[in-house]
Amino acid sequence: MDGLEVSACERCPELVESRSQIVNGTGPEDADVLFVGEGPGAQEDSQGEPFVGRSGSVLDDQLRTVGLDRETVRITNCVRCRPPENRDPNKTELQNCRSYLEAEIELLDPDVIVTLGKVPTEHLLGRSAAVTKEAGTVEEVRIDGTPRRVLICVHPAATLYDRSQSSTFEETIQTAADLAGVSNEATDGSGGQSRLGEF
């Protein structure tokens, strides 16, 4: 690992086969908010950047709405290589990639880590989670010995197949902006807090 970039890794034989490249995190190394997804999909694998496909558009739109532009946050994944047929990364693969994620968290030292979906939520909290129910909840957890604030969020893709999850997603991203101290005067004129009441 060179800074936050993994340039060569062969820890997961199946993923080495299925990936076309390693997809590192993107965004400033001092970002206040770190979004953690599951792993690269087809678009991410071909472009070499996390959340650039349909899920990425959902995320980008909501980031913009709350005044948290994509360029100002860091976005990464639990595993950096695309699993075959978009299956979930298995426990061994998650563990193999964990040191890279921990190093990224340590270097960034974010105000809040937002877990996008079940896999990153359970991976970072170290317990099973009902993400739809728990979305919007903040939990403090030790990651590599340091207490970190984790905000549970549904995966942006969940809003594409279940519209009822859109408001949960939107509210949680607003909470992320609030926790990072970002206000969006353009949309609410009141520093961000009161928007929660609109949903």
The residue from 22, 26, 34, 40 that contacts ligand URA (CB under 6 A) is 40
The dihedrals phi and psi of 153, each to the nearest 5 degrees, come to -135, 150
Name the 3-class secondary structure at 65: helix
Span from 2-10, 25-33, 48-56, 93-101 in contact with ligand URA (CB under 6 A): 48-56
Q: Which stretch binds ligand URA (CB under 6 A): 11-19, 37-45, 104-112, 136-144?
A: 37-45
If one asks whether residue 165 binds ligand URA (CB under 6 A), the answer comes out as no
Q: Is the dihedral of CA 87, 175, 24, 106 positive or negative?
A: negative
Smallest CA-to-CA distance from 40 within 55, 58, 57, 62 is with 55
**Which residues, 6+ apart, have CB-to-CB distance to 1 below 8 Å?**
7, 99, 100, 103
Rule CB under 6 A: is residue 41 a binding residue for ligand URA? yes
| Cβ at position 181, least distance to ligand URA in Å | 26
- Which CB atom, from 47 or from 183, has the smaller least distance to ligand URA? 47
Lookup result for tokens 């699993």: 83
Site for ligand URA in 82-101 (CB under 6 A): none
Contacting positions for ligand URA (CB under 6 A)? 37-41, 44, 50-51, 53, 55, 77, 116
